[in-house]
Amino acid sequence: MRAILVVNPQATSTTAGGRDVLAHALASQVKLDVVETDYRGHAMAVARSAARDGIDLVVAHGGDGTVNEVVNGLLADADGDPTAIGHVPALGVVPGGSANVFARALGISADSFEATHQLLNALENDRSRRVGLGLADGHWFTFNAGLGWDADVVGRVAKRRGKQTTAGLYLRAAVRSYFRPPLGRPALTIRIPGEDPVEALTAFVSNTDPWSYLGERAVHLNPGCSFETGLGLFALSGLGLPTVFKHVRQALVTKSNQRGRRLVRHDDLPMVRIDAAEPVNFQVDGDLVGQRTRVEFFSVPNALTVIV
């Protein structure tokens, strides 16, 4: 088996020692090349070349951003249909970031040494699973995407490059983005096939649950959403403080379905389109992509094989 280990040395919890241990352990089971990323998009380029060269496995060692780049590289030629391009390398993940939402949703340990053991065990026993992904405006996402408030938060955090992305940093960014939204609060129109359009001010689209983590605490928006179902939609038509506090509390303390007068919520959607009255921030897997006035989100079942 030929494999490539893609390491982001700038990720929150990756270290040279951890990289060497991981590389040595993998090399005992596969024919391995190691690539350290040194620019934005490097991991995507490596994974795209791996797919075109017939590599069997690409292991991402970094945070959710590194994983997202690798996934987008592996499926770069898919044009929304992974079955149309033949061989796609399997994905392995050894977390090295601060949140590691995708890895945690798969049951992969946040500890890199334990995650390495899990990966080696899965390889030895030929264990894998197929996972569905989301596709939005040409960008594959593994766990979530969104327009509005959450994307504003992601954008504000991104400007603090060089600072460790802690839960406290995200909380401060969320508060500032709530009171001072960088692009205002343009109205969003949510369109689901077969249903009447509804208005909202912010929208979260999930590919699995939890939607994210606040430190060690899981944030549940669509508990019925998983890698085996369609997309989950969680949108709010109002952002008054009582509404926000109510749904933040529900998201943090329970896995039950949220309810509320201002809530627009669906599970297992094959697609959803969101139009914005003016450009709003758009994020994919915790990475700010830019501003959009329209995004179509699609669920792509069984898009990728993950060694786990």
Residue pLDDT, tens place only, 169-210: 888 999 999 999 999 999 999 999 999 999 999 999 999 999
Fold match, 2-126 / 144-302: no
Six token digits for residue 24: 């040595």
Six token digits for residue 228: 């085996």
128-136/188-191 β-pairing: unpaired
CATH class of 2-126: alpha beta
> Using an 8 Å Cβ cutoff, are 194 and 281 in contact?
no
Residue pLDDT, tens place only, 92-106: 999 998 889 999 999
Mean pLDDT of 295-303: 96
Sequence-distant (≥ 6) Cβ neighbours of residue 97 within 8 angstroms: 11, 12, 13, 62, 63, 64, 65, 66, 165
Rounded-to-integer distance, Cα 54 and Cα 31, Å: 13
Confidence category of residue 163, pLDDT binned at 50, 70, 90: low
Residue 162 has pLDDT above 60, yes or no: no
Six token digits for residue 1: 């088996």
Residue pLDDT, tens place only, 14-50: 888 888 999 999 999 999 999 999 999 999 999 999 9
Residue pLDDT, tens place only, 103-149: 999 999 999 999 999 999 999 999 999 999 999 999 999 999 999 99
DSSP 117: H
Specify the pLDDT at position 34.
96
CATH class of 144-302: mainly beta
φ, ψ dihedrals at 112, nearest 5° = -65, -35
User: For the chain, which residues make up each domain, given as ranges?
Assistant: 2-126, 144-302
